[in-house]
Amino acid sequence: MRGIREALGIFRRYRVALFLLLFVLTASQTALAENKGTQINTKHIKWLDFSATKYSYERNLVRELEKEDIEEAEKLTKEKVKILIALEDINGDGIRDVIAYFYHPYYCGSLGCSVEIYINKKGKLSPINFAFVLPEPKIGIIKSKSYGWYDLIVMDSNGNYRKLKWNGKEYK
C-alpha cells in the first residue's frame, strides 16, 4: 500500500512534466504549415536528395540555361557557382524533373539561396515560376496534388514548414 501511495505522490508531482513530455513527443511528428494552419505529418514527406556531385548531366543543362547569370556571378566574385541538384517527378508525367539549389553569394541572401524548378520535357528543361529562397535545400513531396502536380513542403528561414500548391501557373 505504501508503494502505491508513493507512486501516486510522484505521479501527482510530475504529471505536468509527463503531460508536456507526451505532448512534445506527439507534436514532434507533426509540423504546422503556414498556409491556413494545415497540419502536415512529416512522416509522409518524401524529402528530396540534393547532391553537389551526382546528376552532372542535369547540372550541365541548368548551367547552360542560366549561363548569363552564372557567368556574371562568377565574374563578380571569382567564385564558381555551386549547384545542388535533386531529381523528382513533380508534375506526374513519370519523368523526373530537375530541382536546383544555387549556392553562391550572388544567389544567396540573409533568408537563404535561390531554388529553381525545371520541368523535363523529353530531355529539354523548362523553368517554371518558382520564386523561392530557402535557408537550406530541404524540399519534400507529399502525395496530395493540385492541378495534377504534387504538393511540395519547404522549410522557411524561421524553421517553419510550408505547404506549396501548384495553381496551374506557379507554386504558392
Domain range summary for the chain, segments of one domain joined by +:
1-30, 33-164
**Integer Cα distance of 99 and 89 in angstroms:** 10
CB 83 within 8 A of CB 98: no
Lowest mean pLDDT among 2-16, 48-62, 72-86: 2-16
Question: 74 is written with which cell numbers?
Answer: 562568377
Confidence (pTM): 0.75
Mean pLDDT of the chain: 81
Phi, psi dihedrals of residue 152, rounded to the nearest 5°: -115, 155
